[in-house]
Amino acid sequence: MTTRPRKPWRVVLESPTGPSPESEFTSETKTYEYVREELRKAAAGETKTTAVRINKWEAGNWWHFETIKLGEWT
């Protein structure tokens, strides 16, 4: 079995120029605080983010947890 990473949540911001580097978090709460702030910035036109992809470490693998598109949370 593979060891659970210290930060088992990852977020990738999608934009017209491609995905951002992954941001890692220690909890679901911290992950969604970051996601809400990034979606707020995108809705305000401060960034070009079009979607947010969230991955979670579970059962020894990284799994797609959720994808949120701009407008679904605004």
* Alpha helices, DSSP H, located in the chain: 28-43
Q: What percent of the chain has pLDDT over 70?
A: 96
| Rounded Cα distance, 12 and 44, in Å | 19
Strands 23-25 and 51-58: unpaired
Residue pair 59/25 in contact by the 8 Å Cβ criterion: no
Confidence of residue 4 (pLDDT cuts 50, 70, 90): confident
Question: pTM of this prediction?
Answer: 0.90
Mean pLDDT of 30-47: 96
Residue 31 carries which side chain, given as an amino acid letter? T
pLDDT, tens only, 8-29: 999 999 999 999 999 999 999 9
The secondary element (H helix, E strand) that includes residue 74 is none
* Predicted local distance difference test score (pLDDT) of residue 74: 53
Contact criterion met (CB below 8 Å) for 55 and 62: yes
